[in-house]
Structure 1
Amino acid sequence: MKNIFLYALLLAAFAGCKKSDVNKGGSTSPVIRGDTTVRLFLSAENNKDIPDSVSSELKITGDSVNFNIPGISTNRSFVLSFLPADANLKVNGVKQQSGVTVNDFTEPVIYTYTDPNGKVKSIKVSITNFTGLPILFLTTSAPVVSEDDYVTGNLSINTNGQFEPFAANAGLNIKGRGNSTWGLPKKPYHIKFDNKQAVLGLSAAKNWVLLANYYDKSLLRNAVADDIGHLVGADFTPHYRFVEVVMNGVYQGSYTLTEEVEIEPGRVDINKLSTIDNDNSDIGGGYLVELNQRLDADYYFHTSSGLPFTIKDPNDITDQQLAYIHNYMQQTEDAIFADNFADPVNGYAKYINVDSFIDWYLVKELMKDVDAVDYNSIFYYKDLNGKLGMGPVWDFDVSAGDPDLDPTGWWVRNGKWFSRLFQDPAFVQRVRQRWQSVQASLPLILTNIDKNAAYLNLSQEQNFKVWNILNTYAWPSPEVFGSYQGEVYYLKSWLKTRMDWMTANL
């Protein structure tokens, strides 16, 4: 049987081979443990496009092994060869034939080896493509050239064995998204499925966002902010997945897939208004509004202080509902600036969920998000029979030291509402107590940056081959760090300094 002996996994009958036991030069000499071993290889029968470089991508962890095939592919069926060829290997009880038996590697496959002495060893074998991240294959009926006009298409996903298989060719509509980010070379996208889809382990929904992270050379800031949001407990913080995007056969780069900001179960999970909900008993929620200086929405209003709010949900808001939420936001602002604003019964606390405001504030202040001072992507929600809350946290392309913001000094509390709230000693004390309650867990954020950066290492290499900006100045980066590792180090060191400063000054 003609095989490409790309790399050997040595499975011992009596003990598993450690990483140090494997000869990375590609030798086929077995490591002897007792008197029986078996070796697995990717077979030539798979396809002739598998390059020799696969050998350098083998990863072994305990009783699992990963063969990584660098090319972008949707193929998940592979043949393994093994030596000795008559070794007793089974998959789900089915005897395997070396170089013949085909298995579906959409998910990892468990091989069971029984040695001549009757001892049994199991190992999980996975085969990944490209960078190992899930690969989204988008096919569209026409080029996506607009933020406003959808193009029909479909999506298939090579999950690379990390998540449940995704239904092939799911129908969808796709358009561009973002404000300044849509004008950048690497485009962000909004996907709307024909039917709700659970994607990569996230709750089923129609609407999804692909963040391009072109501004952010670490590719991590939005993910870091979401991690902080979950740690702090900020309301309705989105979940994310790192993915590769291929559109119409062309690799687009490394993206962050995340949930749309919308009123939906598992997202902003509050009551959803319909056009008939106009009576006093049901008009009170739910609403999702954005403080948005661009006013790029069909419905909007200003408060008396000049703050602009757009309606995110409901999309088809009635005149009565618009009047209600406008009035509620104005009452809230009036209470914040009233002489008795600190009164726990009749002051601002009558209208806002104070804990929700504080959690949102801490995430945005820690990241020193540029847009968070009364500009845009500042979301508020109001549920039926509930007070005004803040969330979800969103949009961190320009944050955490990009642009060159000093990691010291207050930022978000300079906004109109927050500057007033911080004049209340009771509010300041609650912020201090909340920070102290999460302070011990904050180093986990820095640890997670390292983990995610390692996970993205092959992905960032491919991304910056397409978008070659690591060694060039690109706003808002304060300087050129010259490498992906340099970008990650800057992000970590900036955040560490920021955490320490906030701890000292709260």
Structure 2
Amino acid sequence: MSFLLSLFKIIKFMLKNHPNKFSIVSIIFLVFLQTKSFSQVQLTDSNLPIIIINVDVDPITNEPFAITSDPKTLATMKIIKRPDGSRNYLTDENTTPFLNYNGRIKIDLRGSSSQELPKKPYGFTTLKVDNVSNNNVSILGMPSENDWVLNSLAFDPSLIRDVLSYDMSRKLGNYASRTEYCEVILNGDYKGLYVLQEKIKANENRVNVSKIEKTDNTSINLTGGYITKSDRANIGASPTWIIEETNFIHVLPKPENATVEQTEYIKGEFERFGDNLYKYDLENGFQTIIDVPSFVDFMLVNELTSNADAYQYSTFFHKDRGGKLRAGPIWDLNLTFGSTFTNSSDVDQWQFSNANKTGPWFWAGLFDNRTFPCYFSRRWNELIQPSKPFNLDVLSSFIDNTLSYISEAIPRENERWGTLENHAIDVVKIKAFLAERITWITNNIGPYANCSNVEVPPLVITKLNYNPMTSVEFPISSDLEFIAIKNTGTETINLSGVYLKQLGTSYQFPFNSTIDTNETIYLSGNLNTFQRKYGFSAFGQYSRNLSNTSQNIVLADSYGNVIDAVEYFDTTPWPVEADGLGSYLQLVDTALDNNVASNWQSSSNVILSNKSFQNSSSIKLYPNPVTNALFIQSVKSIESIKVYNTFGSLVQNSLVNSDTFKMDLSSYSNGIYFITVYYDNGFMTRKIIKK
């Protein structure tokens, strides 16, 4: 009777939460698991990392506390991973040099339908010794954080679906959870093969958006960052809002922390996207609201894998402060590649128009859009080329290499749970599915000629001040940052829709803003500080700040077509003088490739310019070098003159309103100074030497 009740509970759960998705095979599989007796496996050593978790003991029962969905349970975790990559032994659990992690965690059950299986999925948070404070640590080579997932590989007899999908997405240039196979022992019981992976959260090494606070309810602060998902609501919880029977749920901010203003704002962005899906102008068109490349890549991964959950479950979005709405990252792709555990992973069906489930209407709407399908097709045809991420040979090679890596653990997994009798057959089916799926999509995706050679404006990133040196007058380094962009063409350029494409620093040029021929404009970290420091107004202020170590700055048109890109580093061969030592990066010549380090030099010239006179005969400064009096003569009336020292400090600011001026420099210390002469329509800078 208990077996029947348990089985009924699981089937009821799956039908309620996954209608039209799970197949009869999955029901048979559940019956099999409920009637099976499981073997114990003694693990002694492995080529994979070994994770040992011991849950704290209940002093009343003298047994480990139960691991539940809520609250989390305290435990100790050790990860055995020899630094040299050699074999790992269980006997190394007390050998400190061989422990990748040795400390406290709090652990819980995670997942929905997978939580009902005998082999459980877990989430855990790394803690400091006080058992309260989160402990950001690097685990198995992944960037430091405190929230992690132990993926149990549920409903995936191939053991590779999630790992393959995440790798595909990362190779497209998008963030997807980093993964590492491992073998897990919980309270002395071998639990089998797992994938340790990153949990989706805001972090510069995960979803690189700013963390919105409860006080961020107005102006630019209200615009981000957000992480939102379409998914089932947790037990006892309600969705934040619903679009066409699809739940939308806050991830960042947490539902309990979201203010009314924040919920209304991000909900409004989705509504604005839907309302403008068939508008294409550069003021309100859909491409000014969403980051088109992220939606293209997100849909392509879900379509190639034929993800049964796509667009309705485990579907994430994110939006940075001042940035566009983006799709992703991908998550939970176990019901993919023709999985027999679902009725919905077809080889010859678009998932966005699958009758079983399609999610909100805007997914299918994008394919009916006038321009999106062209970019969708262009990207697909790029990705299936030789050596590219969606090429069948590349995918097959990754599958083979991955299976070789975990081959030793596969028999132990099957001995423990008995679910892999058809493992080899399933892998063969995945490869066959990919071959057929790639052919089907290629034949049905449509043309891309209209967007194959998009003309982009001649804009060049010419200066980067990513780690400015501070001073008493300017104590905040990030406020002094700037990005200089020059129009190298012969015509004025309309900047409508142009934006900084990569996460980390966000800016989209206002509608109908322009840049004149040969003009340089500046985007700054702080408008007021830029004005005080450099003597003129920056064009705009970007959100967040530039990285002090490395960042990829990509200038793109409204559809994401790259105009110019620079990925700088704070190490050689890049000029290291620009790393907090008082200089900034300056492109040697606009005709050079500005993504090559040798084409950049460091500059300490604190006098920037957006428009300046190039005719040196229009002004005379004498004598130079100067001891006491400096005479300035100009062919036109001078409005004002500013003098800066080599540290960028303003030494003198004089109103002139004449074509001649005499300056007394007798009190100046000996050295180099920069004099900027301002006119009604521009300015000119000259260097003088005081002796």
1:281-292 aligned at under 5 Å gives the runs 281-292=220-231
TM-score by length of 2: 0.51
Determine if the alignment matches structure 1 residue 318 to structure 2 residue 263: no
| Counterpart-to-counterpart distance in 1, 2:66 and 2:438 | 41
Match of 1:268 among 207, 232, 242: 207
State the match for 1:386 in structure 2: 323
What secondary structure is seen at the aligned counterpart in 2 of 1:310?
strand
Correspondences of 1:24-423 after superposition (within 5 Å): 72-73=43-44, 129-130=45-46, 132-141=47-56, 142-160=64-82, 161-162=84-85, 165-194=98-127, 195-233=135-173, 235-294=174-233, 300-303=239-242, 305-315=244-254, 316-336=257-277, 340-373=278-311, 375-403=312-340, 405-414=345-354, 415=358, 416-423=361-368
Q: Distance in 2 between matches of 1:151 and 1:437?
A: 47
Question: Within 1, Cα distance between the matches of 2:252 and 2:235?
Answer: 14
TM-superposed CA distance for 1:486, in Å, is 1.6
Q: CA deviation at 1:303?
A: 4.9
Does the Cα contact within 8 Å between 2:80 and 2:101 map onto a contact in 1?
A: no
Whole-angstrom CA distance in 2 between matches of 1:303 and 1:331:
15
5+ residue gaps in structure 2? 1-40, 57-63, 87-96, 128-134, 446-691
Range that drifts further, 222-231 or 398-407:
398-407
- Report the secondary structure of 2:177's partner residue: coil
1:434 aligns with 2:387: no
Mapped partners of 1:205, 1:254: distance in 2: 23
How many Å separate the matches in 1 of 2:337 and 2:275?
A: 32
Distance 1:279 1:232, change over 3 A: same
**CA–CA distance in structure 2, aligned partners of residues 353 and 296 of structure 1:** 33
Separation of aligned partners in 1, 2:184 and 2:119: 11
Amino acid at match of 1:324: Y
SS of structure 1 residue aligned to 2:75: strand
* Native 8 Å contact 1:209 1:257 kept in 2: yes
Cα contact 1:240–1:256 (8 A) shared by 2: yes
Change (3 A) 1:186 1:323: same
* Cα displacement string for residues 214-253 of structure 1 (whole angstroms, at most 9, x for unaligned residues): 31001100001011112223x3211100110111111101
Cα distance change on mapping 1:413 and 1:212 into 2, 3 Å: same
Q: Which residue of the partner structure matches residue 31 of structure 1? A: none
Tell me the distance in 2 between the aligned counterparts of 1:314 and 1:232: 27
Question: Retained in 2: the 8 A contact 1:186–1:212?
Answer: yes
Which of 463, 485, 496 pairs up with 2:424? 485
Distance in 2 separating the partners of 1:183 and 1:487: 23
Instruction: Give the 3 Å change call, closer, same or farther, for CA 261–170 of structure 1 in structure 2.
Output: same
- 8 Å Cα contact 2:210/2:224 also seen in 1: yes
Alpha-carbon contact 2:337-2:433 (below 8 Å) kept: yes
Partners of 1:286 and 1:382 within 8 A in 2: yes
Letter in 2 for 1:401: G
Q: 1:307 to 1:330 in 2, by over 3 A?
A: farther
Secondary structure at the counterpart of residue 376 of structure 1: coil
Partner residue, 2:461: none
Structure 1 residues 215, 409: closer, same or farther in 2, change over 3 A? same
Question: Structure 1 residue 330: deviation in Å?
Answer: 1.9
Q: Is the 8 A contact 1:295 1:308 kept in 2?
A: no
Secondary structure at the counterpart of residue 209 of structure 1: strand
1:216 is paired with a residue whose SS is coil
For residue 187 of structure 1, report the CA deviation from its aligned partner: 0.4
Inter-CA distance 156–304: structure 2 relative to 1 (3 Å threshold) = closer
DSSP 3-state at the match of 2:211: coil
Determine if contact 2:126/2:137 at 8 Å carries over to the other structure: yes
What code does the residue aligned with 1:368 have? S
Deviation string for 1:420-441 (max 9, x for gaps)? Answer: 1111231111001111111122
Distance 1:346 1:306 in 2: 27
Judging changes above 3 Å, is the alpha-carbon distance between structure 1 residues 157 and 293 closer, same or farther for their aligned structure 2 residues? closer
Match 1:459 to one of 399, 405, 409: 409
CA contact (8 A) 2:233 2:249 kept: no
- Residue 408 of structure 1 aligns to a residue whose secondary structure is coil
- Contact 1:243–1:254 (Cα < 8 Å) also in 2: yes
Structure 1 counterpart of 2:264, one-letter code: A
1:364, 1:412 within 8 Å by CA — same for their partners in 2? no
Tell me the SS of whatever aligns to 1:324.
Answer: helix
**What amino acid does structure 1 have at the position aligned with 2:262?**
Q
**Higher RCO (CA-CA < 8 Å; seq separation 6+):** 1
Other-structure match for 2:552: none
Which residue identity lines up with residue 328 of structure 1 in the other structure?
E
Letter in 1 for 2:43: I
Q: Distance in 1 between matches of 2:282 and 2:66?
A: 51
Instruction: Summarize deviations over 1:18-63 as a string: whole Å, max 9, x none.
Output: xxxxxxxxxxxxxxxxxxxxxxxxxxxxxxxxxxxxxxxxxxxxxx
The answer to whether the Cα contact below 8 Å between 1:273 and 1:286 also exists between their aligned partners in 2 is yes
Q: Please state whether the residue corresponding to 1:204 is helix, strand or coil.
A: coil
Structure 1 runs not aligned, ≥5 long: 1-69, 74-128, 472-481
Cα distance in 1 for residues equivalent to 2:318 and 2:121: 25
Measure the CA separation in 2 of the matches of 1:317 and 1:181.
29
Q: 1:170–1:351: structure 2 CA closer, same or farther, 3 Å change rule?
A: same
Distance in 1 (CA, whole Å) between partners of 2:398 and 2:54 is 33
1:155 to partner: Cα distance: 1.1
The SS at the match of 2:220 is: coil
Name the CA distance, whole Å, in 2 between partners of 1:347 and 1:305. 23
User: How much has 1:293 moved relative to structure 2?
Assistant: 4.0
Larger radius of gyration: 2
Task: Tell me, yes or no, if the aligned pair for 1:369 and 1:398 is still in contact at 8 Å.
Answer: yes
How big is the shift at 1:302? 2.8
Task: Measure, in 2, the Cα distance between the counterparts of 1:301 and 1:333.
Answer: 18
1:327-379 deviations in Å (ceiling 9; x for gaps): 2222222222xxx4344542221211111100000001111110114x21000
Matches of 2:111 and 2:120 in 1, distance apart?
9
Contact 1:285 1:383 in 2 (8 A): yes
Aligned mates of 2:296, 2:274 — CA distance in 1? 17
Q: Percent identity?
A: 27
Structure 2 contact 226–253 (Cα < 8 Å) conserved: yes
TM-superposition CA deviations, 1:428-462 (whole Å, max 9, x none) = 11001111111122221211101111111111110
Contact 2:79–2:101 (CA under 8 A) maintained in structure 1 = yes
SS at match of 2:196: strand
Aligned AA (2:51)? L
Give the aligned partner of residue 642 of structure 2.
Answer: none
CA–CA distance in structure 1, aligned partners of residues 418 and 245 of structure 2: 42
1:257 aligned counterpart, secondary structure: strand
Per the alignment, in what secondary structure is the counterpart of residue 312 of structure 1?
strand
